[in-house]
Amino acid sequence: MALITKAVKGTQDTLPTVSYKNQFVEETMMRIAHNFGFHEIRTPVFEHTELFQRGVGDTTDVVQKEMYTFEDKGGRSITLRPEGTAGAVRAFLEHGLFNEAMPQKVSYLTSCYRYEKPQAGRLREFHQFGVECFGAAAPGADAELIGLAQSIFDALEIEDLSLEINSIGCPTCRKQYHAALKAYFKVRETELCDTCRERLEKNPMRILDCKSPVCSAIAADAPVVLDYLCDECRTHFDAVQAHLDAMMIPYSINPRIVRGLDYYTRTVFEFVSDSIGAQGTVCGGGRYDGLVEELGGPHTPSLGFALGIERLLLVMHSQGIEFPEPDPCTLYIATMGERAAREASSIAQSLRGEDYRVECDICDRSLKAQMKYAGKLGARFTLVLGDDEIDKGVYALKNMKTGTSTQIAADDFIEEFMETADLDTETHLREMFGLGGDN
């Protein structure tokens, strides 16, 4: 076999043997977000490049090194979204959602694109679950957001994630802090990487997030922003912690978290795992009180987080978490001859319409091969149809677990099958969850 090409570096396929796991975590996330009042928003996979330059920040790694940017046939500069927030804010503004009752809470599941060095937990196409809450300044909003992420991890029974929080202040406290950082890095300017030397004047906080070993070693002793918070930011941060305490959500303060995107203010947080190697941050987020204004809208204090699906699945695998297996095939209809095949098509069509999982032979295989396939599918019931059964008008439904067969008149088959299958499902659930009888 000579493949003409393979999947592009840094991308991956999710096969049916795995995709049920993605579906399970994604459905759990959307359901819990819904409980918190976050409802789905869908935005395009590509946007005008300037949205990300302004929204993510043009001194960030994402914008400087990682974006998939190209010119379309109309000469526009287009970028595949590297993250979900900028697009959500654009949609919030474009559709005038700021005129609606605040807060506006949205959630999304999206693919993201970043030109990074692929490794475990770092892909060029990856997927995020994210939420954004627009128009909420109170510390309770920060705690609610963190509470949502925590509830998701609890529901998925993930244990080895720790929550780290920090406050990176507002433009007022940042003035002083920037000055302190500049003074600190200036002394060792020549040792910094080229990108960070450029960042020194424009945005010295970005140096704290540089992945180069030399820069991060220097950054390790840099002044921390917590020491420079203004009174209002300090009070806000204290109140966020008081809420988390009240919600019994454990956390630690990590004054070194700055996050990789420029728009953050005040609270920033990460959920980190130490069981999946260097790419340990599964979820990151925080407050971005200035972003909506930055993108041309009214002053709208807001916040959000994004959670990497692939990294989350790595953590779940490393913890040996079991995923609910998809329901097996309920009925397999094996057939001999064309009349039987037509009858099988008819029964399958009716039962599938009633929401039963039914399969029949579509490969013209021998009866033996069909039954082997039914076994592979894990069919709970089988039915063998040939001219004989059709002439007699009596079908034998076999329960594959107990081995018992039940004779059913052809005319009653659909109805009787549904009753039998439902009863079997109930028994199965009762056995699994130890549910009581009718009492």
Residues that bind ligand ATP (CB under 6 A): 83, 114, 116, 121-123, 126, 128, 260-261, 279, 281-284, 306, 308, 310-311
The CA distance from 319 to 176, in Å, is 43
Of the pair 98, 115, the CB lying nearest ligand ATP is at 115
Nearer to ligand ATP, 255 or 386 (CB): 255
CB of 120 or CB of 253, closer to ligand ATP: 120
**Of 151 and 330, which CB lies nearer to ligand ATP in the complex structure?**
151
With a CB cutoff of 8 Å and minimum separation 6, the contacts of 184 are 222, 223
Residue placing its CB nearer to ligand ATP in the complex, 123 or 152? 123
The minimum distance between CB 282 and ligand ATP, in angstroms, equals 5
Nearest to 230 by CA among 168, 187, 178, 277: 168
Distances (CA, A) of 97 to 33, 49, 201, 299: 19, 23, 36, 13
Nearest residue (beta carbon) to ligand ATP: 308
Write down the least CB distance from residue 278 to ligand ATP, Å.
Answer: 8
What angle (nearest 5°) sits at the alpha carbon of residue 126, between those of residues 68 and 321? 170
Q: Under the phi-then-psi rule, with left for phi > 0, alpha for psi from -120 to 50, and beta for the rest, what region is 264?
A: beta
Tokens coding 56: 């993510």
Of 19 and 119, CB closest to ligand ATP: 119
Q: With respect to ligand ATP, which residue has the nearer C-beta, 165 or 421? A: 165
Q: Which residues pair with 205 in a beta bridge?
A: none
Spell out the long-range contacts of 386-391 with Cβ–Cβ below 8 A and sequence spacing 24 or more.
386/335, 386/336, 386/337, 386/340, 387/336, 387/337, 387/339, 387/340, 389/340, 390/339, 390/340, 390/343
The distance of closest approach from Cβ of residue 93 to ligand ATP in the complex, given in angstroms and rounded to an integer, is 21
Contact 76, 68 (CB under 8 A): no
How near is the Cβ of 255 to ligand ATP at its closest, in Å?
17
Report the nearest approach of ligand ATP to the CB of residue 337 (Å).
Answer: 53
Closest approach, Cβ 122 to ligand ATP, in A, equals: 4
Q: What tokens appear for 303 in the block?
A: 């916040």
Amino acid identity, position 389: E
Q: Pick between residue 219 and residue 347 the one whose CB is nearest to ligand ATP.
A: 219
Q: How far is the CB of 304 from ligand ATP (least distance, A)?
A: 10
Output the smallest distance, CB 411 to ligand ATP, in A: 56
Q: Please, what sign has the CA dihedral across residues 70, 72, 76, 78? A: negative
**26 burial type by CB count under 10 A (0-12 exposed, 13-18 middle, 19+ buried):** middle
Whichever of 279 and 350 has its CB closer to ligand ATP, that residue is 279
Nearer to ligand ATP, 123 or 170 (CB): 123
Least spacing, CB of residue 196 vs ligand ATP, in Å: 16
CB of residue 298 to ligand ATP, shortest distance in Å? 26
User: C-alpha distances in angstroms, 318 versus 108, 275, 311, 312?
Assistant: 26, 7, 11, 10
